[in-house]
Amino acid sequence: MRRLFFAVFASMVLAATAYAWAGEKGCAPHEGKTGFGDNIAKIILKLDLTDAQKREIATILKDHRLGAKEKGKALCEAMKQLHDISYTDGANETAVKQAYAAVATAGEAMALKKAMVTSQLKKVLTPEQLKKLDLECAAMIAKVKEKLEGKFEEHRGKLDEWIDKHAQ
């Protein structure tokens, strides 16, 4: 159960990244309100950047924005296709495997883009800013994890109750 939770959690974090980079309201759950972009912006604002650092970070983000949006849209579309196939043609194992492979490929491209951008951004920061970045990111991840873990367990418990009640 714990492995399943972490797999779902990792998928949701990657999906949130894709949604934020893709900028597509129709793709993200809850009408595109992932909160991911807002959280990253809040973290950047907490780093007390110099004007030179702000320009350099903005330039890095601008240089990667289009490519990241394309990768985010590709991941988003692949996830939508997997969802659609799973609910309309779930018995077609080959179609489901192909759709999942597309999600994995798009997710890998998105993860690589995020890692490359993060690496470039970190080169601009001072050691103190890097420590603060690590602390802020860890706090954000812990907050999301706590929220998702609670919801996952709550919904899993409701499903287990329903199964136990109706399965004979």
pLDDT digits (tens, 9 = 90+) for 107-116: 999 999 989 9
What is the pLDDT confidence band of residue 60, given thresholds at 50, 70 and 90? very high
pLDDT digits (tens, 9 = 90+) for 134-147: 999 899 889 888 88
Q: What is the pLDDT of residue 120?
A: 93
45: confidence class by pLDDT, cuts 50, 70, 90: confident
CA 107 to chain centre: 9
Q: Single out the residue of 75, 58, 66 nearest to residue 17, CA to CA.
A: 75
Q: Pick 121 or 150 by higher pLDDT.
A: 121
- Tens of pLDDT, residue by residue over 78-130, are 999 999 998 887 788 899 999 999 999 999 999 999 899 989 999 999 999 99
* Whether the Cβ atoms of residue 38 and residue 52 lie closer than 8 Å to each other: no
pLDDT at 65: 87
- Is the per-residue pLDDT at 2 higher than 50? yes
| Rounded average pLDDT over 142-155 | 82
pTM over 0.95? The answer is no
43 contacts 137 by C-beta, under 8 angstroms: yes
Question: Is 32 or 149 the better-scoring residue by pLDDT?
Answer: 149
DSSP letter at 35 equals -
Over the stretch 18-41, which tens digit does the pLDDT of each residue have?
Answer: 545 445 444 554 444 444 555 677
Contacts 24+ apart (CB under 8 A), 102-107: 102/78, 103/75, 103/78, 103/79, 105/78, 106/18, 106/71, 106/74, 106/75, 106/77, 106/78, 106/79, 107/11, 107/14, 107/18, 107/75, 107/78
Residues contacting 20, CB < 8 A, separation 6+: 34, 36, 37, 40, 72
Residues 101/77, Cβ–Cβ less than 8 Å? no
Q: How far apart, in whole angstroms, are the C-alpha atoms of residue 47 and residue 167?
A: 54
